[in-house]
Chain A
């Protein structure tokens, strides 16, 4: 199994630009999670899905952030417009209901 696949691994963009982060979960996993990691705030849950349906998006910082899961094998996290304070590592993780999350390698976002 290839694990959880995230793209891009690194993204550098300018303030105001749209950013789209992508995630392919492990086949057969029914939960998908988006986390953000920063030095100041540590690991924060942004949103999670069960069977492609958003269950809890209370961690999404503001309306500039949106996440979708159109099918069981793909999810996106979009930031529009991006701001420097959005700079962080964004992790996608998936699980098969047993609470054991498998994490992707992360997408490091830098907003200038």
Chain B
């Protein structure tokens, strides 16, 4: 069975500071990994994904994440936070070519202080 653990339900950073949201996964097969963002009263939007190949993946809005198999991690980073980054972020895992449904983590709410 696959699972995702997001460390920290709330993260607060200052505008311009580094954003680091942590995600660890568990999967019995090579995983596909995703980060989604949810703004208030909206659905989830894809930020970035890792399937195969390069382990550092870049997404929209300046976010990137690195797949580290040895650490079973897929942390999300952004060098400089912007006020518009305030939202809830979800890490998700799937079994790639097997079970297609995503298993989501519990989410991390990012606050950006002026």
Determine the chain B residues whose CB is within 8 A of the CB of A56 once the complex forms: 99, 101
Determine the chain A residues whose CB is within 8 A of the CB of B20 once the complex forms: none
Determine the chain A residues whose CB is within 8 A of the CB of B77 once the complex forms: none
**Residue of A with least CB distance to B105:** A42
Check B44 against A97 for contact (C-beta < 8 Å).
no
Q: Is B87 an interface residue (CB 8 A)?
A: no
Interface size of B as a range:
20 to 34
Q: Which of A50, A97, A103, A106 contacts B45 (CB 8 A)?
A: A103
- Inter-chain contact total with CB atoms closer than 8 Å: 52
Determine the chain B residues whose CB is within 8 A of the CB of A100 once the complex forms: 34, 46, 49
Nearest CB on B from A68, distance (A): 18
Check A31 against B107 for contact (C-beta < 8 Å).
no
**Residue of B with least CB distance to A95:** B100
List B residues 47-98 near A (Cβ within 8 Å): 49, 51, 90, 94, 96
